[in-house]
Amino acid sequence: MMWNPISWVKLWFLSMRQESLIFRPNATGIAPLKSPQYYGLRDTISLNIRSRDKALLKLWHQKPAHPPGEHHPEDILFLAFHGNTGHWGDVGPRGGQHDDNFDRRYRIRLLEAIIRAGAGFVAPTLRGYGGVSEQDARPGEEGFLMDVEAIVDYVLRKIEIRPRRIIVFGESLGAAAALMAASIMTARDRAPALVALVAPFSSLTDLVREKHYMLDGTAIRRRLRHPFDNVARIGQLRPETQLYIAHPDKDHLIGPEQSAKLAAEARIAGLKVTESTIEGGHVTWDTVAVVGEVLRLYRG
């Protein structure tokens, strides 16, 4: 491949500044994560757990709707991971979003939709996000994996619900965390019923190449400290897990080819795959419609 000075500069910048380019936990005007009640989730509890390397993680836990003291065999739990920038309570100011449906609290709307559907959720905030950053717990793929392991341990050991009642959900960067969780559960013979991804990317190499098509894929891979190879993690799932992939039709951050590549790999792995093009942008899609479609798939 013919290299030019601009390509070299971009690769150098990627090598030196990739953490600040990849992880955007904070933005101007985003306050630290507050209690669920502050955002109107009155019955949701908040708790802290620690990952293997002692990083502090916040979890919101909402039990499925049923009469107090009863456990219903049809209980459904979403293990949900949010995307880049902000936290569950705030995605930050409008920025480049020109959609009239922009809502800084669209992630709260997602959790509200899950509650209204009668399901429960565990909604974690990973290291570095939500104002709980510690000096030794900055965002990164290796750290995220330890966080997700701790979260899966909590869900499988502390919550009385069968894995086949669990839907693992992730949007954008959270799709990578969702696939981590699903692959960990599968490796423990506790595979989830369904994995739902909204606006995912196939790998960080693919995403960088999408934005900077002149760069060589091998050169990018050698420099990435956080490859987030979602294609490889899809291949670790088993056919008993369904996969739902939705891509917003006005998403200008991640192209639909990324979703298509994940779907193709899932079919090779023998998974039942449902692909959907949904209305909206990267952070302005219809949370109620997506939750409804995911539950319809789950219930068959």
pLDDT digits (tens, 9 = 90+) for 90-137: 887 765 556 667 888 999 999 999 999 999 999 999 998 875 545 557
First to last CA, the chain: 49
71 falls in which pLDDT band (50, 70, 90)?
Answer: low
Residue pair 168/181 in contact (Cβ under 8 Å)? The answer is yes
Q: Are 189 and 183 in contact (CB under 8 A)?
A: no
Task: List the single range of 12-16, 25-29, 158-162, 276-280 with lowest mean pLDDT.
Answer: 12-16
Task: For residue 114, give the DSSP letter.
Answer: H
The arithmetic mean of pLDDT across residues 46-67, rounded, is 89
Is residue 247's pLDDT more than 70? yes
Taking 3-state DSSP, the helix, strand and coil percentages for the chain, each rounded to the nearest 5, stand at 40, 15, 45
User: Quick one: average pLDDT of 19-27?
Assistant: 79
CA separation (Å) from 293 to 127, 243, 258? 30, 12, 21
Dihedral over Cα of 257, 259, 264, 268: its sign: positive
Tell me what the pLDDT averaged over the chain comes to.
Answer: 87
The CA distance from 124 to 174, in Å, is 10
Q: Are strands 45-50 and 56-62 parallel, antiparallel or unpaired?
A: antiparallel
pLDDT digits (tens, 9 = 90+) for 130-180: 755 455 578 999 999 999 999 999 999 999 889 999 999 999 999 999 999
Q: What is the DSSP string of 259-274?
A: HHHHHHHHHHTT--EE
Dihedral of the alpha carbons of 92, 95, 100, 101, in degrees to the nearest 10: -30
Task: Render pLDDT for 193-245 as a digit per residue (tens, 0 to 9).
Answer: 999 999 999 998 888 877 665 566 676 777 788 899 999 999 999 999 999 99
Cβ(231)–Cβ(203) below 8 Å: yes
Residue with tokens 């669920």: 36
Q: Model pTM?
A: 0.91
Q: Supply 260's token pair.
A: 């298509």
Q: Name the fold adopted by 5-23+39-65+73-299.
A: Rossmann fold (3.40.50)
Domain positions in the chain: 5-23+39-65+73-299
What pLDDT is attached to residue 137?
Answer: 72
Contact 278, 249 (CB under 8 A): yes
DSSP 69: T
Strand partners, 92: none
For residue 243, which of 189, 193, 188 has the smallest C-alpha distance? 193
